[in-house]
Amino acid sequence: MAKIQNPTLFSRYFGIPATLLDDAGLIDPFVDVDTQLFIDPVLLEKSSNILMSGDAITAFRSHFENFVRLITISEKEGDVAWRTAERLLDLREPPENGLGYGGSGRSGSSRPNEVRDSIMRTAKEIVNLGSKDPEMISLMGFFEENVGPDTISDFTTRVIIEQLAQLTEDFCSANDIELHKNAVLPDRRLPRVLDKNGKEKFVVLVPTDVVRELPIANDWGDIEAAVSHNAKIRQAVNSMLAGIAQPTVTDRKDALRAIALQSPQNFEEFLAAVKEHVRTYDPNVDALAYYKMKAIFGSGFDGLKSDARYDLKKGPDEIARLVHDTINFFKHHVENGNLWEELWIGDKPKKERAPQLIYYAIADAYCSAHDVDISPEANMGGGPIDFKFSNGYRARVLVEMKRSSGTVRHGYDKQLEIYLDASRSQHGIFVVMDYGDLGQKLDQILKIQEYRRVTGQRASDIVVIDATKKQSASKRK
């Protein structure tokens, strides 16, 4: 069995061409970190994979028909029907598919009961309207503040795990990938990976045409897209928001919920609009730069080889020099090459995750060559830092990457400092991706940095990368 590197694609781990997964219409997941895509149950019926469009959607509907039936006959929370429905709504994160927000390690987790209870109460409200469509469950992210698409993906995965395991077993058998018995699905054999401690984990593969990018319904653009196909609902939502000067996402979700659950007709129209117009993750748009990252891992990046030498025995200062070199390489190709094109969709910047994933793939090549460990979204006790670079226990350098429209000052002044304290590190690098809307934020963090230096405090380095749209490199003089 090959030794796990960090990060490692399924294809690399098992020594097969990535094109085999592409040709089979399957995601090539990382075996050691999560991919921020999620399974949307609305896409199951549209899948070109017959296991998904046949058995999986049947299993999903049957499962949630039982859930809806139990919610319907429940007379009060906590009665037998309600408790039985609770057991059908399993919100534990399944570690087998490598999708979601799990970060490094891919270990599954559970969610608080309050999230499950809020879903059930909304489902009961919908049932009382008169709707019995089991696919109502897929809309909960639009109505509930604490129900994200990762939650929906996770309970969908658990319901269709048998079908995912079958397609995984079929693919692996056809491509000579060793399969093993496992406790997850005792009647199925799955591919096994071993982590750096020798602990075994099992993987199920997922078709590319049943996944979407994370997140959805977390900003107004996503919600607006969901309601734009129904003029009546769109106008009613806009009317409710008219008296609010700057409505938040919560305000908008509350308005959408009020309108969609106003009548059986409104709900059915909204559900139909979402089901009709939802789209799978588009590799041509590549909103997360997932495919660009995979391409770098698979084929490398032009000019990535470096003759630089690093004496890691010097400790974190030397690791910091290596990290700065990786950032400067990334910066050069964004500002002076065509890499900026991978950070935009038309006139709109891609999600914050896009530059992080591309940088991750580039930095990993440096780290592999120089025996430096890079951990994406490593939880340092104060929350998930974007990247941790380390060699041994004490030599640690943390990197936080923010887009210019985000909370730049808070990220530098508070967030990175919390992570540095938690990791007992004195070396932080704060990277700002400037899409043209940085404004006064740079001056603010530079003043904080200068004050800390003058007063003898730790002052993390600041790097600004011009990610604005440019002419192609071939057209520049």
Burial class (CB in 10 A: 0-12, 13-18, 19+), 199: exposed
pTM, two decimals, is 0.77
| Band (421; pLDDT cuts 50, 70, 90) | confident
CA 227, chain centre distance (Å): 23
- Greatest mean pLDDT among 118-127, 165-174, 361-370, 378-387 lies in 165-174
Residue 221 binned pLDDT confidence (cut-offs 50, 70, 90): low
Class assignment of domain 290-475? alpha beta
- What are the sequence ranges of the domains in the chain? 10-216, 290-475
Q: What is the mean pLDDT of residues 215-241?
A: 66
Q: What's the confidence (pLDDT) of residue 101?
A: 46
Residue 2 has pLDDT above 50, yes or no: no
Q: Hey, how many other C-beta atoms are within 10 angstroms of the C-beta on 154?
A: 26
State the pLDDT confidence band at 95, using cuts at 50, 70 and 90: low
Compute CA distances 208 → 38, 260, 360, 433, whole Å: 10, 30, 22, 29
Residue 297, C-beta contacts closer than 8 angstroms, at least 6 positions apart: 7, 9, 12, 361, 364
pLDDT of res. 52 = 96
For 278-352, where are the alpha helices, taking DSSP H only?
Answer: 290-299, 316-335
Tell me the pairing of strands 200-202 and 192-194. Answer: antiparallel
Strands 37-39 and 211-213: antiparallel
DSSP E strand boundaries for 326-468: 344-345, 348-349, 373-376, 387-391, 395-403, 428-434, 461-466
Question: Contacts for 119-125 with beta carbons within 8 Å, 24 or more apart?
Answer: 119/89, 119/144, 119/147, 120/71, 120/77, 120/82, 120/85, 120/86, 120/89, 121/77, 122/257, 122/261, 123/67, 123/68, 123/71, 124/71, 124/74, 125/261
Who's near 414: CB < 8 A, 6+ residues apart? Answer: none
Considering 57-71, 127-141, 355-369, the range whose residues carry the highest mean pLDDT is: 57-71
| Average pLDDT of the segment spanning 205-220 | 72
Which pLDDT does position 47 carry in this prediction?
Answer: 95
User: Above 50 in pLDDT, residue 216?
Assistant: no
CB 151 within 8 A of CB 115: yes
At residue 449, the pLDDT reads 94
Confidence of residue 395 (pLDDT cuts 50, 70, 90): confident
Report how far residue 82's alpha carbon sits from residue 120's, in angstroms, rounded to the nearest whole number. 9
Q: How confident is the model at residue 51 (pLDDT cuts 50, 70, 90)?
A: very high
The residue to which tokens 């994370």 are assigned: 214
Q: What is the pLDDT of residue 312?
A: 82
Instruction: Answer yes or no: is pLDDT of 4 > 80.
Output: no
Range with lowest mean pLDDT among 264-273, 426-435, 461-470:
264-273
Mean pLDDT value of segment 398-409? 91
> In this predicted structure, what is the pLDDT of residue 475?
63
pLDDT at 1: 29
Highest mean pLDDT among 20-24, 109-113, 141-145, 397-401: 20-24
465: pLDDT strictly greater than 70? yes
Q: What is the pLDDT of residue 21?
A: 94
Please give the pLDDT value at position 115.
Answer: 86
97-106, 361-370, 388-397, range with the lowest pLDDT: 97-106
